[in-house]
């Protein structure tokens, strides 16, 4: 009775129970098998290393920068949203129960809530796989980058403004944000008129 491959491999690797090692000493056929398994390993180890394409590294760096920017935008948006929620909550709690002291008409909470909801909906549309076409014309790509930069700027301003008292400014910035997101969606896709999105990249 000869040893199975799994047992022979264990012996090749210097393992295996004493009874298998004893069998190996007594059985020339199994000894040859272990030797052959060792030779095969040696040939596998001798297979040459493969050279990656020369253009791989610049591509990796470009993709890293793109992902980094996306992560930063997401972080800013999350921070802005969190601050806004805190500000709105604080505003509701501290609102006087009699007359408004400010001369400026404060935005109705519903306006902000609607803008935030619209902003969230548009971001979900932007994350839709159907919009993620890897191939874009240079002009389209440049426009998308410009819109994303403006969006990042608005997010930065939103973070700053949420710390202050100006709810009107927040309303304006959230309006800008919705507008920019809408333009981004239009730049990367188009609606077919029935509210369903279609990929607009025609090449």
Partner 1 sequence: MDASGFFAEVDELTVARARRGDAAAIELLYATFARPVYTLGCRLTGGADSGEDILQETFLELLRSLPAYRGEGAFGCWLRRIAVSKVLMRRRRARVRSVEEAQEVADAPGAWSPATDRRFQLRFDLERALARLPEAARVVVWLHDVEGMTHAEIADAFGKTESFSKSQLARAHDRLRQWLVDERSIEHASEDRATAGVARR
Stretch that binds partner 1, among 42-50, 94-102, 118-126, 166-174 (CB under 8 A): 42-50
Residue 188 Cβ vs partner 1, minimum distance, rounded to whole Å: 22
Query: Is residue 186 a contact residue for partner 1 (CB under 8 A)?
Result: no
One-letter-per-residue 3-state SS of 1-44: CCCCHHHHHHHHCCCCCHHHHHHHHHCHHHHHHHHHHHHHHHHH
Residue closer to partner 1 by CB (options 36, 75) is 36
Q: Among 1, 18, 26, 51, which residue interacts with partner 1 (rule: CB under 8 A)?
A: 51
Q: Among 53, 105, 129, 193, which residue interacts with partner 1 (rule: CB under 8 A)?
A: 53
Binding mask 61-90 for partner 1 (x = CB under 8 A): --xx--x-----------------------
Q: How many residues bind partner 1 (CB under 8 A)?
A: 27
Query: Is residue 26 a contact residue for partner 1 (CB under 8 A)?
Result: no
Binding mask 141-160 for partner 1 (x = CB under 8 A): --------------------
How far apart, in Å, are the Cα atoms of 153 and each of 20, 70, 173?
Answer: 71, 14, 10
CB 201 within 8 A of CB 136: yes
Query: Is residue 56 a contact residue for partner 1 (CB under 8 A)?
Result: yes
Residue 144 Cβ vs partner 1, minimum distance, rounded to whole Å: 21
Residue closer to partner 1 by CB (options 1, 43) is 43
Stretch that binds partner 1, among 3-11, 101-109, 117-125, 175-183 (CB under 8 A): 3-11
- Structure-block tokens of residue 12: 């090749």
Give contact residues for partner 1 (rule: CB under 8 A).
Answer: 4-6, 9-10, 36-37, 40-41, 43-53, 56-57, 59-60, 63-64, 67
């Amino acid at each position: 009775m000869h040893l199975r491959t799994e047992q022979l491999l264990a012996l090749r690797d210097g393992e295996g129970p004493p009874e298998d090692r004893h069998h190996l000493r007594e059985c020339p056929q199994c000894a040859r098998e272990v030797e052959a398994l060792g030779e095969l390993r040696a040939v596998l180890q001798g297979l040459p290393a493969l050279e990656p394409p020369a253009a791989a590294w610049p591509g990796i760096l470009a993709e890293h920068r793109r992902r980094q920017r996306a992560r930063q935008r997401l972080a800013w948006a999350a921070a802005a949203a969190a601050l806004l929620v805190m500000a709105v909550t604080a505003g509701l709690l501290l609102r006087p129960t009699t007359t408004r002291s400010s001369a400026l008409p404060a935005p109705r909470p519903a306006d902000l809530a609607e803008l935030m909801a619209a902003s969230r909906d548009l971001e979900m549309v932007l994350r839709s796989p159907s919009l993620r076409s890897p191939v874009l014309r240079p002009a389209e790509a440049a426009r998308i980058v410009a819109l994303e930069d403006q969006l990042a700027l608005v997010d930065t301003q939103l973070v700053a403004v949420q710390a202050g008292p100006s709810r009107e400014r927040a309303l304006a910035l959230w309006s800008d944000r919705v507008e920019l997101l809408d333009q981004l969606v239009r730049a990367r896709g188009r609606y077919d008129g029935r509210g369903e999105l279609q990929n607009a990249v025609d090449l």
